[in-house]
Amino acid sequence: MKRILTVCSLLCLLLVTGCVGMPGTNTGALLGGVAGAALSRDNPIAGAVIGGVGGALIGNMIDNSGGGGYGYRGNRGYSGNPGYSDRAYYERLERQRAFEQQRAYEEQMRWRQLQQQRQWEQQRYGGRGCYRC
């Protein structure tokens, strides 16, 4: 019995360490392995392996669906930063677009002011352009 528990624990540990940056996959593999070993009366080792693999797959699907609760979608983001998200990327793009639109608007307003100043100088100085001419 001790040998079976040792082998099951070792297999679960190997399954869990393969997916370090994915908390749902780790939890699924651990719970699936334990449940598989407990439910399989004839061969607990095979039950642990099958349960661990099934749990890891289900946990991976939960991770990729955004259910991990870490603000990022599975292993798609930078796993070293749990606060990373696709939403932050698109918000940054949106802020950049807004900044560029504001800058273009200000440039357009400066151009209009320059045109108005030229028209005013032409009216004031009789079409000569400026007082020096």
Domain-embedded: residue 25: yes
Residues 37 and 90 occupy one common structural domain: no
Residues 90 and 60 occupy one common structural domain: no
Full residue range of the structural domain in which residue 29 is found: 2-64
- Does residue 108 have a pLDDT over 60? yes
Domain-embedded: residue 77: no
Domain-embedded: residue 78: no
- Does residue 130 have a pLDDT over 60? no
Q: What is the pLDDT of residue 81?
A: 54
Banded pLDDT at 98 (limits 50, 70, 90): very high
Domain-embedded: residue 75: no
Domain-embedded: residue 72: no
Structure-token pair, residue 107: 């440039």
Nearest Cα residue to 34 out of 4, 64, 63: 4
Q: What is the pLDDT of residue 107?
A: 96
pTM of the full structure: 0.38
Those residues with Cβ within 8 angstroms of residue 103's Cβ, 6 or more apart along the chain or in another chain:
none
Q: What is the pLDDT of residue 17?
A: 59
